[in-house]
Structures are given as structure tokens and as C-alpha cells.
Amino acid sequence: MATCPAMSGILNVNNMQSKVSWWQDAIIYELYVDKFAGDFRGLTERLDYFVQLGVNTLHILPHYPSPLVDNGYDISDYRAVDPALGNSDDFKCFTEAAHTKGIRVLIELVLNHVSEKHSWFIDARSSRTSPYRDYFLWSETGTEFQNALNPFVHLKPHNWIYDEQTNEFYFATFYPQQPDLNWRNPKVYQEMVDILDFWVAAGVDAFRLDAAPHLIKAEGELSKGHPETHQILRRFRAHLDVTYDGSIALLGEAQDSLQQTAVYFGEGDECQLLYNFPRASNLLYEVWSNDVPHDEAPLTAIPPLCAWVHFLRNHDSFVLRFLSPEQQERMEQGVDPEGWYAFRGERGLSMRLADIFNGDFEKVQSAHTLLFAQPGALALYYGDEIGMRNDTTIGTPKDTRRYVRGAFDWVEAERQMADPDSLFSFVAKLTRDRTSS
């Protein structure tokens, strides 16, 4: 049992919104623990920063043990904390302190794949008769699922990876070091349900479902958004609703059109929250170009107790494909003519907000003003509220998304916190105005 320092918080968790659908108007702040505060103890000490900024939900990017091939999305142990960030007691003290401040905690749940260093895969590749063999997808020829998406085509030619230990191929949608799980094996589902329960017991209030559409692979299809994937999500949701009285939220990541994304709400029985990727692209283009983007499908009615999550930037690349071809070309040439920050896997730009606007803080303010005018939940990416720029000290990585994952600038943050005319103060006023209305 974690023994945490006494907290003199502003709000007790019991005084948070009493309605069950707390997530519908959440203001989420997305961060890497190490880049923002070093470790969970450091993050706990920094909680007043979020109180002053006015956010009420922290989205913790992958905090698990990992070889860090994919910035933590290659998980080697789902029931532990990366030792560099602390231990399970530190995590529990953090969630307890966050709740005391009136802040909820959202963590990543990577369902599609694990790290090749995960114990399940280590055992699975040790022998074709391993009890964990069927946790993954194997082939003697590597010819199945030829139509499946390969989002990282710039990093691997195809999704089947040859395994010398067992002389077979395993399937990996993303990095070669991230073998996909076999979701048609009921043991995989049960493992993940147990993991959900483990982290709820540690104080977690919500889960972001990474790459949710990719779970089921089917011959002759893109292997994205298969009907069985929705069955899995409904089972997750039903388990959480029954076990925790509907208090735990699922946030789905599905980079698609508005209509194709909305299906992950189900009939109100899948994800309560979904990112609105098309709107993010259009908001940024509108501010950057001083031009109204191409016609965007209007927000349609969604199930009760559900909400879109609107955002400007996040830990991934800025997705261009939701703009028209002409707008894509114009923006690429306008903000990154040399192609330094191009993410070729999905035609995107790995650029922070301040870089997209070339340091024009009036445009950064305008973008935030538009963001806060959107209905539903909102998400901010760490450092955008102080105008952080791309981390160019890391050379030229193959995965350009690393440019937007630099260390938080605390010197600049503290300067802006004390300045009523700063970008930080501007964003903090937007949050206050929104939560008080």
C-alpha cells in the first residue's frame, strides 16, 4: 500500500462534477512524464501548474516499462511503471494527489500490439508449442492479409516480420518490434480486462485506446474497423460500466473521417470519447492560411453521454489527409518546404503549434480561441500553452514525430505564469471562461 504525503488540495475528488458523464466537457492535458517533470514524484509536485492552467484531466502518455523503440508504445509490461519514472507506489500517490486537486487521470492502453521484449512474445517465439504462441499472428509464408494497412511503410516494406527462432513470420502493423496481438484468442481479451482492472485500482479514471480500429485482421480487407473490433470494444465498455458504475471513460483513437470515426461511439456502448481529427486539420489550416478550408461534414448527433475531443496538436504528426490535395500541398510548401519534418507514413508534418505558425503567437492565440469555441471535450498538448518549438537537438530521426516530444521548458513556463499578458495566461483565461460558463 502506497504511503503518500499529506495533500492540501484545492478540491477533493468527491467534490468533482457529480454527473456521471464527467468526460463530456473535460479539458485534457497530454504529456510525457519524463519530458514534463522527470518522474511521477516530480509530476506530483507540479500539479499546481495544471490547477493554474485550468485543466481537469491529465493524459499520461505511455508510462510502462519499454525498450522505447516507439516512445513507449512498445510495452514490455502492462502492470508496472517504467523504473525511470518511479514505481507503483509513486503512481498511486500521483493519482491520489491529482484527485485531491480535482484532476482526473487518463492513461494509454495499447491494445493492438506489445513490445517484442514482452514476456508473452518472448515465450511465444521460444517454441511453436509455447502456450503464448496463439497470443500473436504467425505465418509460414508471410503472404496473408496482403491488403492490410502498413502505416509505417517508410520503416518496413510489409507487415510480416521473419522470426529466425521459429522460422516463421509474425504480423506487425507498426514497428517491426511491435508484434500484433491475436484478438481472436479469448485469452488476450481476458488479459486486457485484467489490466484495465489493475490500473483502475491504482486510481485511473480513463483509458486512451491506441490504434483501436486495427485489432482484427481479415483476409482481403484493410484490417481496419472490422465488425469484431466493435464487439471487443462493447465488451470492454460493458465490463467497465458494470464493475465501476459507469465512472470510467474510454477515449478512442481512430484517424478517419467524421462519419467513419463516429461508429466507435457505437450506440453509446463503445467509446464515450473520440478524437475529431478532421476538425483539428481544418482549424489549423484556417488559422495558418487565413482561409476557410474545404467544406467539412457537420457534427452529427452522437449518443447521449458521449463527446468529441477537439484538439490542435498531439504527440503524433499533424495529419494532412483531411485537407484537400491543394491545401495539403500549400501547407507542406508553406511551413516545411525542405521536408525536414515530414512523416511519410501517413503524409503528415511533425511540427509543434508554434513551428506551424513560425513563432507568430497571435496565430497561436487565434488557434486556441477557435479550439475553445468547439463543443465537447478539449485536449491540449504539453508545451503548446507556452509556445514551445520543435526539439531540433536530436538530429534527423527516421521517425520525425520525435521532434515534437522534447523536454518541457520550465524556465519559460515560470516566466509566463508570472506574466498576465503571456500565452500561458491567455490559455488559462480560456479555460477559466469555459469552466465558469
pLDDT in tens, 156-174: 999 999 999 999 999 999 9
The three-state secondary structure class of 90 is helix
Confidence of residue 1 (pLDDT cuts 50, 70, 90): low
pLDDT of 4 > 90? The answer is no
Tell me the C-alpha distance between 94 and 39, whole Å: 10
pLDDT of 136 > 70? The answer is yes
Q: Mind listing the pLDDT tens digit for each residue in 59-92? A: 999 999 999 999 999 999 999 999 999 999 999 9
Average pLDDT of every residue of the chain:
93
Q: Mind listing the pLDDT tens digit for each residue in 278-333? A: 999 999 999 999 987 655 666 778 999 999 999 999 999 999 999 999 999 999 99
| CA-based radius of gyration for the chain | 21
What pLDDT sits at residue 274?
A: 98
Range list of β-strands (E), 25-97: 27-31, 57-60
CB 247 within 8 A of CB 147: no
Q: What is the pTM of this model?
A: 0.94
DSSP state of 272: S
Q: In degrees, to the nearest 5, what angle opens at C-alpha 433 toward C-alphas 429 and 435?
A: 115
What pLDDT sits at residue 413?
A: 98
What pLDDT sits at residue 221?
A: 93
> Which stretch of DSSP H or E encloses residue 91?
helix 88-100
> Does residue 253 carry a catalytic annotation?
yes
> Does residue 245 carry a catalytic annotation?
no
- Min mean pLDDT across 146-155, 302-311, 374-383, 407-416 is at 146-155
- Min mean pLDDT across 15-19, 178-182, 335-339 is at 15-19
Tell me the average pLDDT across 104-122. Answer: 98
What pLDDT sits at residue 347?
A: 80
Q: Cβ–Cβ contacts within 10 Å for residue 127, how many?
A: 12
Spatial strand order of the sheet with 138-139 comes to 138-139, 168-171, 160-163
Instruction: Write down the catalytic residue from 253, 316, 332, 336.
Output: 253
Spatial strand order of the sheet with 318-319 comes to 318-319, 348-349, 342-343
Q: Which domains does the chain have, with CATH numbers?
A: 13-111+187-436 (3.20.20.80), 112-182 (3.90.400.10)
Strand partners, 252: 209, 274
- In degrees and rounded to multiples of 5, residue 98 shows phi and psi of -60, -45
Tell me the average pLDDT across 197-210. Answer: 98
Q: Tell me, rounded to whole angstroms, the distance of Cα 290 from its chain centroid.
A: 29
Instruction: Write down the catalytic residue from 168, 210, 270, 355.
Output: 210
Retrieve residue 289's grid coordinates.
Answer: 492560411
